[in-house]
Amino acid sequence: MKNFILNFVLLFAFSLSVFGQQDSVDADVPSGDPIFAGAIELEEQKVVFDSLVAAQMAEDEENEAEEDSAFFENWDNSKLNPYGLKVTEVTDSFVVDCSNFCPPTQNVVTSEFGPRWARLHCGIDLRVKVGDSIRAAFDGKVRIKRVGSRRKGYGYFVLLRHPNGLETLYAHLSKILVEAEQEVKAGEVIALGGNTGRSTGPHLHFETRYQGIPINPRNIIDFNEFAVYDDNYLVTIKGSFKEWTDYVNSPAKYYKVRKGDCLSKIAKRHRTTVKRICRLNRITTKTVLRPGRRLRVR
């Protein structure tokens, strides 16, 4: 906007000087002279042309501001998914520019995106050693830096937002080398690999998200070549969020309690956790389980 005002002032000063000159010409040349008429026409064209440039510049700056506001929509330093959208509500058929991709690490995949232990594993796990460089996948800005629990959840993690529309998450880190609000370039080392949070060995848990909802990184990245399949990735509700939709819509599963059962035994048998069973059934670990009771296990 500053630039626009400056340009406008310059343009105004320029117009004054042009018309000032004409005044002095006017004194010598009689009106109706063809040379003079031509000169006026030229100056008028010049002023019109400059106005067009100024208008275009104003429009460009407005567009930039609009892009900026889209980038900062739902900008929150604490919420993993600040969008709060259902999968059916995200923008369909959105083209993501992946041309500046850089692999966060170049190691083997040890666990895939998909249902795991009655939850959805929302990312891909890559083997790393503690202290390995973890790099930003695209240009972007740090939305969340969290020095979390050493035992629970993601542990130490970073979430970046990218101008291409994606967000990427890097978890179980041993050290974070960036701050919230910091701008980063694709390939920049943002953290060191580790084993913090719910993790049974050093690995990088890597997620790609669009408007808060995880997409299987394998849809975008070839983990054999450590490159993107295409410079443009098309986000579609049907294609990009299929696993997510299947998981969300998967039917509930029940189990009839037998004599001698306890919550931990039931949880183990159904590859879930005691905490989750308690939450699903609104019970506590102290609730007495009578044989024959139906418990929801997923």
- Give residues in contact with Zn ion (CB under 5 A): 123, 125, 205
Q: Provide, rounded to whole angstroms, the least separation between the CB of residue 64 and Zn ion.
A: 37
Q: Provide, rounded to whole angstroms, the least separation between the CB of residue 238 and Zn ion.
A: 25
SS3 190: strand
Q: Which residue is nearest to Zn ion (CB)?
A: 205
157 token code pair: 């993690």
Identity at 144, one-letter amino acid code: I
Q: Provide, rounded to whole angstroms, the least separation between the CB of residue 154 and Zn ion.
A: 9
Q: How far apart are CA 53 and CA 59, in angstroms?
A: 10
Q: Provide, rounded to whole angstroms, the least separation between the CB of residue 165 and Zn ion.
A: 23
Residue 240: which of 49, 100, 90, 108 has the closest Cα?
Answer: 90
**Smaller CB separation from Zn ion, 103 or 123:** 123
| Side-chain-side CA neighbours of residue 69 (13 Å) | 5
**Smaller CB separation from Zn ion, 123 or 194:** 123
Q: How far apart are CA 201 and CA 236, in angstroms?
A: 34
**Smaller CB separation from Zn ion, 125 or 243:** 125
**Smaller CB separation from Zn ion, 123 or 214:** 123
Q: Provide, rounded to whole angstroms, the least separation between the CB of residue 235 and Zn ion.
A: 22
**Smaller CB separation from Zn ion, 125 or 167:** 125
Q: Provide, rounded to whole angstroms, the least separation between the CB of residue 67 and Zn ion.
A: 32
Which residue stretches of 29-83 are H helix? 34-71
Cβ atoms within 10 Å, residue 297: 19
Residues in Cβ contact with 112 at an 8 Å cutoff, skipping those fewer than 6 apart: 121, 124, 218
**Rg over CA atoms, the chain:** 30
**Smaller CB separation from Zn ion, 123 or 193:** 123
